[in-house]
Copies of this chain bind each other. A is one copy, B any other.
Amino acid sequence: MYYLGVDLGGTNIKAALVTESGEIVKEASIPTNLPRTGEEICDDIAALCGQLAQGERVVGIGIGCPGTVDHGVVLYSNNLDWHDFAMADYLKAKTGMQVYIGNDANVAALGEALAGCAKGAESAVIVTLGTGVGGGVVLGGRLLTGYTGAAAEPGHTVILDTPDAPLCTCGRRGCFESFASATALIRMTKEARAAHPESLLNTLALTKNAVTGRTAFDAATKGDAAAKEVVDRYTRYLAVGVANLINIFFPEVIGLSGGVANQGENLLAPLRAAVEPMVFGNAFAKKHTRITTCTLGYRAGVIGAALLAKQEE
């Protein structure tokens, strides 16, 4: 008995045939070819699912979709430029299968929580450190979606409420995202590179545009002082945001994903040390949140989507 998981992105549509325990049996990918209507894209998704399902017993389709999704309707997707598209109904009519839809970041978090870094844990908060800071919260094996369907947006909680805090993509200042995204790390690295002509940052990135989310970590590992300052500052802000999430959810696992999380222990060890004194009541706690990195990579999306279908059916 299998489930189909679909990760609908702005560039590619990935799909996989997945077992009940979250293992991928087959996978495939096609280009999204935006701009297109919801119906056009769903026709492609239906065809892709048809190929993967051929000859197999498939129970349902789960989909991770960018934007705000509520009860099978894509209320708004900035990436896809869709408004109020009744995606589940359309795809159900097209495929004859039950279709369940969640926000893409939430669905990937469900994958990591049930089959990846937090497998077996009673609760997990997954934080993605990418272009923005996304996330998902899984409690007792189920996604937190909220009354509006829009939960969880930890990236848009403010951690520095000052008029001169960095501007976030959402229009506010001082959001967690404006400090902890890869974009923020690159911004801080570029600033340090310009301010410190003697720094290795200028050697590792010969031009401003060559700076990546790895530049500061690489230079810091080689002992560069300016780079170390960037990494320390980034880690500090990341710690504040992570500790805020712990002090609200006290989850069993915090899992970090996205490009910056590839630093592994380089990031995790100082992060854990910074978070520890920020956890409320930590001195008397018998149990502690485990801070780790995600393990499924891009496959979290399709696996999570399939497991969404499994848990919703």
Known: A146-B123, A152-B248, A287-B147. A243 touches B68 (CB 8 A): no
Give the residue of B122, B161, B285 whose beta carbon is less than 8 angstroms from that of A237. B161
Please tell me if A62 contacts chain B, counting CB pairs below 8 Å.
Answer: no
Report yes or no: A278 in contact with B172, Cβ–Cβ below 8 A.
yes
- Chain A contact surface mostly: loop
Bound-state CA distance A194–B144 (Å) is: 46
Of A147, A149, A287, chain B has the most CB atoms within 10 Å of the CB of A147
Please tell me if A190 contacts chain B, counting CB pairs below 8 Å.
Answer: no
Report yes or no: A240 in contact with B161, Cβ–Cβ below 8 A.
yes
Q: Which of the segments A85-93, A249-257, A293-301, A303-311 contacts the partner chain?
A: A249-257
Size category of the binding interface on chain A: 35 or more
Known: A160-B160, A278-B172. A151 touches B75 (CB 8 A): no
Report yes or no: B123 in contact with A248, Cβ–Cβ below 8 A.
no
Q: How far, in Å, is A291 (CB) from chain B's closest CB? A: 13
Q: Which A248-304 residues have C-beta < 8 A from chain B?
A: 248-252, 278, 280-281, 284-289
Chain B residues with Cβ under 8 A from A153's Cβ? 247-248, 280-281
Bound-state CA distance A1–B250 (Å) is: 34
